[in-house]
C-alpha cells in the first residue's frame, strides 16, 4: 500500500470524501433538505408579522434568531446523523478502516457547514432585503456569525450523540443542552439585567456570544472589537467541542 493510505490525523481527501458522502445522503432525503432550508425562512417571516407594530423589536429578536436557527437545526441533524452512524455499524466499520477520527468529524462539520451557509443565505437574505430587518453592519457579517453558530451546533450534536443510546434520547438533549442557553443568551432579557448568578452562567455559555455577535452587527457599521471577540469565542467553542466529540469516537468498544 502506498503512503497515502496511512492514517494521518487529518487527510484532506478522506475528509472531503466524507463531507461529500454526508451531502449525498442528504440529497436522497429531499424532505429534510426542504425543512432545513424553508423552516427558518418561514419562522423569520412569521416573526416579522408578529412584531408588525414594533420594527425595533423585530430587528433585535430577528438578528438573534438568525444566529440561533442554524445552531439548533445543525445540532438536531448532526446528533441524529452521528447516532445513526453509531447504531448502524458504519462507524465501527469506518474506524476499522484507515479513516482518521478527525476526517470523520471534519467531514461532518464541512457538510453541515455548507448546508448552514445555504440556510443562512436564504434566511438572512430574506430578512434584510424583503422583511426590512434593519442592520447597521454588513449582512455578510450576519452570515459569518450564522455559519459559526451552525458549526457550534454541529459540534454540540456530535458530542452529545455519544451519550445517547437511541433517537429518543438524542432529541431530548435538544431541550437539555440548547434551551438553557436560549433562556440565558439575552434573547428575552439583556444579559446585564439578569441576576448576577444567571449572568455569570450566561457568560460561559457559547450561545450568548453568538447572540452578542449578531447584535454587534445590528448596532454598528464597523467591525467592533467586541464582535471579533464574540466570533472568536464561538469559533473556539466549536473547535473545542469538536475535539471533545472526536474523543468520544472509540476504535475499540465493548
Q: State which of residues 55, 98, 125, 180 lies at the interface with another protein (CB under 8 A).
A: 98
Q: How far is the CB of 19 from another protein (least distance, A)?
A: 11
**Which residue stretch of 13-21, 119-127, 190-198, 241-249 sits at the interface with another protein (rule: CB under 8 A)?**
13-21
Of the pair 165, 204, the CB lying nearest another protein is at 165
Q: How far is the CB of 1 from another protein (least distance, A)?
A: 5
Does the protein bind another protein through residue 165 (CB under 8 A)? no
Does the protein bind another protein through residue 221 (CB under 8 A)? no
Per the CB < 8 A criterion, the answer to whether 105 and 238 are in contact is no
Residue 140 burial (10 A CB sphere; 0-12, 13-18, 19+):
exposed
Q: State which of residues 30, 53, 56, 89 lies at the interface with another protein (CB under 8 A).
A: 89
Does the protein bind another protein through residue 237 (CB under 8 A)? no
Of the pair 18, 202, the CB lying nearest another protein is at 18
Q: How far is the CB of 89 from another protein (least distance, A)?
A: 3
Q: State which of residues 38, 50, 54, 90 lies at the interface with another protein (CB under 8 A).
A: 90
Per the CB < 8 A criterion, the answer to whether 251 and 96 are in contact is yes
Does the protein bind another protein through residue 14 (CB under 8 A)? yes
Q: How far is the CB of 75 from another protein (least distance, A)?
A: 20
Per the CB < 8 A criterion, the answer to whether 208 and 181 are in contact is yes
Binding mask 26-45 for another protein (x = CB under 8 A): --xx----------------
C-alpha to C-alpha distance for 60 and 66, rounded to whole angstroms: 10
Calculate the CA dihedral of residues 250, 254, 97, 103 and round it to 10 degrees.
-20
Q: State which of residues 38, 42, 43, 97 lies at the interface with another protein (CB under 8 A).
A: 97
Distance, CA of 7 to chain centre: 28
C-alpha to C-alpha distance for 104 and 138, rounded to whole angstroms: 33
Calculate the CA dihedral of residues 150, 155, 160, 166 and round it to 10 degrees.
70
The C-alpha angle 69, 73, 75, rounded to 5 degrees, equals 115
C-alpha to C-alpha distance for 87 and 214, rounded to whole angstroms: 37
**Which residue stretch of 16-24, 44-52, 57-65, 179-187 sits at the interface with another protein (rule: CB under 8 A)?**
16-24
C-alpha to C-alpha distance for 243 and 178, rounded to whole angstroms: 19
Residue numbers at the binding site for another protein (CB under 8 A)? 1, 4-7, 11, 13-14, 17-18, 20-21, 24-25, 28-29, 88-90, 92-99, 250-254
Amino acid at each position: 500500500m502506498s503512503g497515502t493510505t496511512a492514517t494521518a490525523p487529518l487527510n484532506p481527501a478522506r475528509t472531503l470524501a466524507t463531507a461529500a458522502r454526508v451531502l449525498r445522503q442528504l440529497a436522497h432525503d429531499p424532505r429534510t433538505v426542504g425543512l432545513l432550508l424553508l423552516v427558518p425562512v418561514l419562522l423569520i417571516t412569521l416573526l416579522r408579522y408578529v412584531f408588525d407594530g414594533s420594527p425595533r423589536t423585530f430587528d433585535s429578536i430577528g438578528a438573534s434568531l438568525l444566529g440561533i436557527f442554524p445552531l439548533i437545526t445543525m445540532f438536531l441533524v448532526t446528533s441524529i446523523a452521528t447516532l445513526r452512524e453509531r447504531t448502524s455499524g458504519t462507524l465501527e466499520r469506518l474506524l476499522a478502516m484507515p479513516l482518521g477520527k478527525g476526517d470523520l468529524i471534519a467531514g461532518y462539520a464541512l457538510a453541515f457547514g455548507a448546508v448552514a451557509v445555504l440556510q443562512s443565505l436564504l434566511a438572512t437574505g430574506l430578512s434584510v432585503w424583503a422583511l426590512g430587518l434593519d442592520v447597521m453592519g454588513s449582512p455578510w457579517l450576519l452570515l459569518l456569525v450564522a455559519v459559526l453558530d451552525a458549526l457550534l451546533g454541529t459540534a454540540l450534536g456530535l458530542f452529545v450523540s455519544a451519550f445517547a443510546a437511541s433517537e429518543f434520547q438524542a432529541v431530548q438533549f435538544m431541550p437539555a443542552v440548547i434551551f438553557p442557553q436560549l433562556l440565558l443568551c439575552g434573547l428575552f432579557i439583556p444579559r446585564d439585567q439578569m441576576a448576577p448568578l444567571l449572568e455569570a452562567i450566561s457568560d460561559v455559555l457559547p450561545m450568548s456570544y453568538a447572540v452578542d455577535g449578531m447584535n454587534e452587527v445590528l448596532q454598528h457599521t464597523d467591525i467592533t472589537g467586541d464582535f471579533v471577540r464574540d466570533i472568536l469565542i464561538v469559533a473556539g467553542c466549536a473547535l473545542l467541542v469538536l475535539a471533545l466529540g472526536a474523543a468520544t469516537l472509540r476504535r475499540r468498544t465493548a
